[in-house]
Amino acid sequence: MNKDILTKTIARLLLPGKGLLAIDEKVETCDKRFEKLGVPTTEEKRREYREILVTAPEMEKYISGYILFDETIRQKTKDGRSFTSVLKEKGIEIGIKADQGLIDFPMHLGEKITQGLDGLSERLKEYKNMGATFAKWRAVFTIGENIPSRDCMEENAKLFAQYALTCQKLNIVPIVEPEILIEGDYSLEKSYEITAQNLKLVFHELKNLNVFIPGMILKTSMVIPGNNPKITIYDEEIAKMTVSCLKKNVPADIGGIVFLSGGQEDEAATEHLNLMHKMGPLPWPLTFSYGRAIQNKTLQSWAHNPEDIATAQALLLTAAQNNSQASIGQYKK
Ligand code: 13P
């Protein structure tokens, strides 16, 4: 492990005013979104859509890294340039989803653990040869009756630690992403409690395996109430509770923290990040790593009008710019 390489990569990823764009949806997730909009669910359509995201002009002004999926890191533009070379030319770091999705957690109804440790090191070496400098591993938790269980959180935390150490041994920056799903009927306070408990366990296991904390990034959901039924909470409360939870449960020397948007309204995801920065100073770099909140409008525009690439790309750039401003507390509606 070369700590200098890890911290330098993080410094490039978390430059003030920049954030990450997640375009690492697995095939089924991407297809589900296409289906809803009447787009054919073929590999070529996924490639065509992702070409729009990868080649969108000026994205490098606001986005420091793209997180890709195994299929996407191997794809090329229509005129034959690899996506990775397009990103590298723009000075954008290449990230890769390193986990292999979720499986049922045995004996724990309704809970999932993340798979992908088998062959992880070999896969990462291949991705590194393709230019990847950072990786992501996502675990998912549902809030419901008696879940998430401590067992499930502990098991996922152990997997995070093994994954993160494997990345760091190869000088790849690990993003550790424990996502608490927004789907559910739970309060802001419940979200705080579970997020706090989960983060404590995650960092306990990471430290147990001697993961280099300044050489990793936490990707987390915000402290936010479940969306069913929709509870109205002021944006300020969400921002305040999120910052308080992170300050109490995340080591101050972590490389940085980024958020997923998790199905929040695009505007809300931007506004919440903006408000958190207005509450600063914060002990760690804090920015976005959104998928849907940046892609939504672009996907809709392209689905309805696939020939009009300029509009689809302009919408992507605007969303990236809004979140860039939010990441320094300067976003105005
Ligand atoms: P969303 O912003 O759409 O939640 O996606 C981010 C992500 O990487 C989820 O794993």
Residue 228 has pLDDT above 90, yes or no: no
Distance CA 279, CA 257 (A): 16
Catalytic residue among 25, 205, 219, 271: 219
Q: What is the mean pLDDT of residues 46-74?
A: 98
Among protein residues, the one whose CA lies closest to atom 9 of ligand 1? 260
Per-residue H/E/C for 56-90? CCCHHHCEEEEEECHHHHCCECCCCCEHHHHHHHC
**154 catalytic residue (yes or no):** no
pLDDT grade, residue 280 (50/70/90)?
confident
Distance CA 268, CA 307 (A): 30
For 102-121, letters b (16+ CB in 10 Å) and e give beebeebeebbbbebbeebe
User: What's the 293 CA to ligand 1 centre distance in angstroms?
Assistant: 8
Residue closest to 73 by CA, chosen among 127, 136, 129: 127
User: What's the 25 CA to ligand 1 centre distance in angstroms?
Assistant: 8
DSSP code, position 155: H
Q: Which atom of ligand 1 is nearest to the CA of 292?
A: 3
Structure confidence by residue, pLDDT tens digits, 126-171: 999 999 999 999 999 999 999 999 999 999 999 999 999 999 999 9
pLDDT grade, residue 230 (50/70/90)?
confident
CA distance from start to end of the chain? 43
DSSP code, position 113: E
pLDDT at residue 176 in the model: 99
**97 catalytic residue (yes or no):** no
Q: What is the mean pLDDT of residues 181-203?
A: 97
Q: Which amino acid is at 264?
A: Q
Q: Which amino acid is at 167?
A: C
Residues with CB under 6 A from ligand 1: 22, 138, 177, 260-262, 290-293
Instruction: Decide if 279 contacts 6 (C-beta within 8 A).
Output: no
Q: Phi/psi class of residue 285: alpha, beta or left (left: φ > 0; alpha: ψ in -120 to 50)?
A: beta
User: What's the 81 CA to ligand 1 centre distance in angstroms?
Assistant: 26
Could you give the C-alpha distances from 234 to 58, 86, 187, 223, 271, in angstroms and in order?
Answer: 34, 41, 13, 12, 11
Q: What is the mean pLDDT of residues 38-42?
A: 98
Instruction: Decide if 303 contacts 38 (C-beta within 8 A).
Output: yes
Candidate of 181, 289, 296, 298 to mutate for ligand 1, largest count of ligand atoms within 8 Å of Cβ: 289
Other CB atoms within 10 A of residue 333 CB? 7
Longest dimension (CA), the chain: 52
Structure confidence by residue, pLDDT tens digits, 296-309: 999 999 999 999 99
pLDDT at residue 232 in the model: 85
Catalytic residue among 25, 111, 177, 205: 177
Among protein residues, the one whose CA lies closest to atom 4 of ligand 1? 262
Mean pLDDT (the chain) is 98
User: What's the 289 CA to ligand 1 centre distance in angstroms?
Assistant: 7
Other CB atoms within 10 A of residue 154 CB? 15
